[in-house]
Amino acid sequence: MARSQAAVHGFDFRPGRRLGGKYEVVELLGRGWEGEVYRVREIATGIDRAAKFFYPERQVGDKAIAYHAKKLDRLRQCEILISYLTHDQVRHRGQTVKFLVSEYVEGELLEDFMARQPDRRLPVFEALHLLHTLAAGLEQMHLLRDYHGDVHARNIIVRRHGIGFDVKLFDIYRWHGRTVDNIREDVCDVVRVFYDVLGGRAAYRNHPPEVKAIICGLKRSLILKKFKTAGELRTWLETMEWEEP
C-alpha cells in the first residue's frame, strides 16, 4: 500500500534557492489554504514571475492545479486576473510539489497597502475609485458566467495610478454549487473590501448616506437586492447621485 503524504504546513523557500534548475526564489508574496505564492526569477532570462506552490495534500490527482490552469486560461481576456504562463514541479523534503507560473505584477497586497495608510483607512473618494476598478474587473468574469471566489485584501494587488488604482486579483478559488450563487458571493466580498478599506465598523456610522447605500450594513440580502453582479455595482457607481451638503 502506498504511504500517504505528510501534511505540509509551509515550504519556507529561502531567497536565493534554486528550484528545478529553472527558477530562483526572490521572496514570499503570500500564503493561503491551498499553498504559497512566491516571486521567482527565471534563471535563463532574469525575468521575474509569480509562482503558486500547492501543498501536496491539497493537490490530490492534480485536480487543483488543473482547475486553476484551465480557469485562468479560459479567463485570459479578463484584465484584472494575473496571466497564467505554465506549470512545473519540484522535489521538496521528499515530496513532489506542483506549482503554477504566472506573470509577476508590480504593486503590493491591499492588506499591506492599507497598513501604511493614516488610521489604516482610505478617504471616501479613493475607496470608491478602488471599488469601481474591482467591480469593472469582476464584471468581465461575470459576463463569462464565471467568478473569482476568493476576493479579499490578501488576494488583491494594488498600485496607485493617477487618481485611481491599477488592480490585479490572484489565487482564484473553486466553490461547488451554482455559478450564479458564486457570482453573488463575489459581489458581497467586494462590498466587504470597500467596507474594510473605509475603516470597518468603527467608521461606518460617520459615512455619508451614499456610501451606506452601497454597503447596506453588510446585510447580504440587501446587497444582492441592489447588485446581483459586479456589472450592476459598476453601473450604480457610475450613475449614483449625491445629496447636497
Q: Which CATH number fits domain 108-239: 1.20.120.140, 1.10.510.10, 3.40.50.300, 3.30.420.40?
A: 1.10.510.10
Q: What does the pLDDT look like over 145-181, one tens digit per residue?
A: 999 999 999 999 999 988 889 999 987 888 888 999 9
DSSP labels, 54-94: EPGGG-GGGHHHHHHHHHHHHTTT-TTBPPEEEEEEEEETT
Is CATH 3.40.50.300 the classification given to domain 18-103?
no
Q: What is the pTM of this model?
A: 0.89
Domain with CATH 3.30.200.20 in the chain: 18-103
pLDDT digits (tens, 9 = 90+) for 177-232: 899 999 999 999 999 999 999 999 999 999 999 999 999 999 999 999 999 999 99
Average pLDDT on 117-138 reads 97
Main-chain phi, psi angles of 212, to 5 degrees: -65, -30
